Structure 1
Amino acid sequence: MQTILGSNGQIGYELANELYQNYTKELRLVGRHPQKIHATDQVVVADLTDADQAFRAIQGSDVVYFTVGLPMDTPVWEAQFLQITENVIQAAIKTNAKLAFFDNTYMYQKDATPQIETSPFLPVGRKSVIRAKMATRLLEAMTNEGLEAVIGRAPEFYGPDRTQGITNGMVFDRIKAGERPQIPVSDTALRTFIWTPDASRALALLGNTPDAYGQTWHLPVAPGISYQALLALAEKVVGRPIPYDVIPLSVFQNEANTNRMRAEQLEILVRYQFDNVFITNKFMRRFPDFHVTSFATGIQTILN
């Protein structure tokens, strides 16, 4: 039995399909409002902030995937994420389940310093502090408490269907709606994006590779790209020029005073001033046959 915590999100949904197609038909989908994806899926309703519910959701699982997402709301993150993480850690230890933890890069330094698996956690911002604490707690449990876990860390998402992220929302969704894309902060700085189906395939691979456990892995990505180059690829797909607006960081800072979503985004948008260099050499050396989706293919999939 392999279990997905947070199965309703884009990563959880694509992960369920990958596991079903290539690893196991015995899947348990867990969330506040989980829905079956395949006829044989087991569905468990659980509030993971409750330790007993987390235990029942995980009990009987061989591998548990943590793909839990919370709304972009700092007080909610502070109130729930650390408790959820602790409940999942304790349940996995008590039930002897392996844990594959899907992580992000909030805790890294927000400048052009290349990011590797051993980069120090230098969180700036309340959500970044929470993500640093979650990852640190997980590493402690792996080192000192017998937790068998693997961490798969991903940069910003872009992808099809229900993918949520700044670039999908401000760029691709606006192109599909016939509106001018809004480029956050800079159109020339290099950005690193992960195609959400690639992220789910990579996490499934790590979860089913025994010697991957006990380690952190940067999940595979295409080389960094500027928004300028991204829009040039989009123009080839739609067959027309795509005019766009670059929204300076100062505008986001001003809007953050009255717009809660802008205030929540601002913590990560400060990084958009710099090239974002996310190194995945470790993963590609271990899994050289993993195919990373090109930006040309990804953009064509989104826009068509």
Structure 2
Amino acid sequence: MNIHTIFGAGGAVADQLLPILLKNNEKVRVVSRTAKSIAGVEAVAADATNYEQTLQAIKGSSIVYLLIGLPYDIRIWRVQWPVIMTNVINACKETGAKLIFFDNVYMYGKVDGWMTEETPFNPCSKKGAVRAAIAKQLLQETKAGNLQALIARCADFYGPIGFKTSVPNLLVIQNLLKGKKAQWLANADQPHSITYVPDAAKALYLLANRPDAFGQTWHLPTAPELITGRQFVKQAAAAMQKPDGVSTIPNWMLSLAGLFNRPMKELKEMNYQNEYPYLFGSDKFNKTFEFTPTSYAEGIKETVQWALGEGSKK
């Protein structure tokens, strides 16, 4: 049986990947804590912190996409991420399934210049330390030949994906939609790479179908041109015919908001990513797959069109 199994059904990336798999006539299994019925898809309920449930969910899979997004809380990450990674690795080893792990850039820490697949791990945050540990675990298992796996890494992201998991969507697009002033974290004048999620989803499927892609780390396609938060806001506001002013959220404000809102408290330690240039390079992927990432102009336009339509109902 040739099944593409998605762990983390209902998430921003999973929702973009699913239609691509179905369009290509793949057999798809979606896994989440509560099975969600989707036409033409096998829905399975499993808790990835439970090994037996994880194993049963993976049996019969040719490819497993680990797209789980845990609540943005270091207390949960420290406990659950190591267990989830261990369970998924062991289940893939036991069944022979290939693994694609969708990762972020927290393990790199502060980087002077462009982040590439060769950038060393140097986390400067608690969440970065957790991500570094699970990435190293997977790399060691892969290098030892215990399973076929790859890491697909992406920058902060945006797109027609909802407002919960994308800071640009939340602070810029949603605020403008509500007639509020757009916001940006820390410094709106630093260049900041942002991955367009539909591109990332297309890339995951391309990687899945390329045997020699396994055993490697890949940065998912991201527009190479520089854009600042202020420029992102300006383009989004123009597309929505809204004022293009932007207010920045400094650390002290995150600290204050964090007294009442856990995700805001958790954002504070990651705010260095907005205080300095945040440059994410995907040349390796673009050249290998002859892929042209969606430009910010086009991606922002598509995101705004979604927000004015479906997004306005959410």
TM-score when normalising by structure 1: 0.94
**Gap regions ≥5 residues in structure 2:** 306-314
Residue 281 of structure 1 and its aligned partner are, at CA, apart by 1.0
Residue 4 of structure 1 and its aligned partner are, at CA, apart by 0.6
Alignment-derived partner of residue 46 in structure 2: 46
Partner-residue secondary structure (3-state), 1:179 = coil
CA distance in 1, matches of 2:157, 2:211: 27
Alignment-derived partner of residue 148 in structure 2: 148
Residue 258 of structure 1 and its aligned partner are, at CA, apart by 5.4
- The CA deviation string for residues 262-290 of structure 1, in whole angstroms up to 9 with x for no partner, is 220112112211111111111111011x2
CA distance in 2, matches of 1:141, 1:259: 37
CA 1:30/1:240 → structure 2, altered by over 3 Å: closer, same or farther?
Answer: closer
Residue 259 of structure 1 and its aligned partner are, at CA, apart by 4.1
Alignment-derived partner of residue 80 in structure 2: 80
Counterparts of 1:131-280 in structure 2, within 5 Å, are: 131-163=131-163, 164-223=165-224, 224-256=226-258, 259-280=261-282
- The CA deviation string for residues 66-114 of structure 1, in whole angstroms up to 9 with x for no partner, is 1011011111111111100100000001100011111110111224332
Partner-residue secondary structure (3-state), 2:152 = strand
Residue 257 of structure 1 and its aligned partner are, at CA, apart by 5.2
Find runs of 4+ consecutive structure 1 residues off by over 3 angstroms.
253-259
Partner-residue secondary structure (3-state), 1:128 = helix
- The CA deviation string for residues 43-78 of structure 1, in whole angstroms up to 9 with x for no partner, is 110001011011000011011111011011111111
Counting aligned pairs with the same residue, the percent is 36
Q: Which moved more, 1:176-185 or 1:159-168?
A: 159-168
Alignment-derived partner of residue 295 in structure 2: 294
Partner-residue secondary structure (3-state), 1:134 = helix
- Aligned residue identity for 1:208: N
Alignment-derived partner of residue 34 in structure 1: 35
- Aligned residue identity for 2:273: R
CA distance in 2, matches of 1:110, 1:167: 20
Counterparts of 1:118-129 in structure 2, within 5 Å, are: 118-129=118-129
Q: Does the 8 Å CA contact 2:286/2:292 hold for their aligned counterparts?
A: no
Partner-residue secondary structure (3-state), 2:113 = coil
Residue 209 of structure 1 and its aligned partner are, at CA, apart by 0.9
- Count matched residues: 301
Q: Which moved more, 1:258-267 or 1:174-183?
A: 258-267
CA distance in 1, matches of 2:240, 2:42: 41
CA distance in 2, matches of 1:70, 1:206: 24
Alignment-derived partner of residue 67 in structure 1: 67
CA 1:291/1:141 → structure 2, altered by over 3 Å: closer, same or farther?
Answer: same
Residue 117 of structure 1 and its aligned partner are, at CA, apart by 0.6
- Aligned residue identity for 1:78: R
Q: Does the 8 Å CA contact 1:5/1:67 hold for their aligned counterparts?
A: yes
Q: Which moved more, 1:96-105 or 1:256-265?
A: 256-265
Partner-residue secondary structure (3-state), 1:117 = coil
Alignment-derived partner of residue 303 in structure 1: 304
**Gap regions ≥5 residues in structure 1:** none
Q: Does the 8 Å CA contact 2:99/2:149 hold for their aligned counterparts?
A: yes
Q: Does the 8 Å CA contact 1:111/1:271 hold for their aligned counterparts?
A: no
Residue 254 of structure 1 and its aligned partner are, at CA, apart by 4.7
Q: Does the 8 Å CA contact 1:153/1:219 hold for their aligned counterparts?
A: yes
Q: Which moved more, 1:194-203 or 1:155-164?
A: 155-164
Q: Does the 8 Å CA contact 2:107/2:129 hold for their aligned counterparts?
A: yes
CA distance in 2, matches of 1:279, 1:244: 26
Within the candidate set 7, 13, 17, 1:15 is matched to 17
Residue 240 of structure 1 and its aligned partner are, at CA, apart by 4.1
Q: Does the 8 Å CA contact 2:162/2:169 hold for their aligned counterparts?
A: no
Partner-residue secondary structure (3-state), 2:123 = coil
Q: Does the 8 Å CA contact 2:182/2:233 hold for their aligned counterparts?
A: no
CA RMSD of aligned residues (A): 1.6
Q: Does the 8 Å CA contact 2:14/2:67 hold for their aligned counterparts?
A: yes
CA distance in 1, matches of 2:242, 2:178: 15
CA distance in 1, matches of 2:63, 2:161: 26
- Aligned residue identity for 1:14: Q
Residue 239 of structure 1 and its aligned partner are, at CA, apart by 2.8
Alignment-derived partner of residue 100 in structure 1: 100
- Aligned residue identity for 1:271: Q
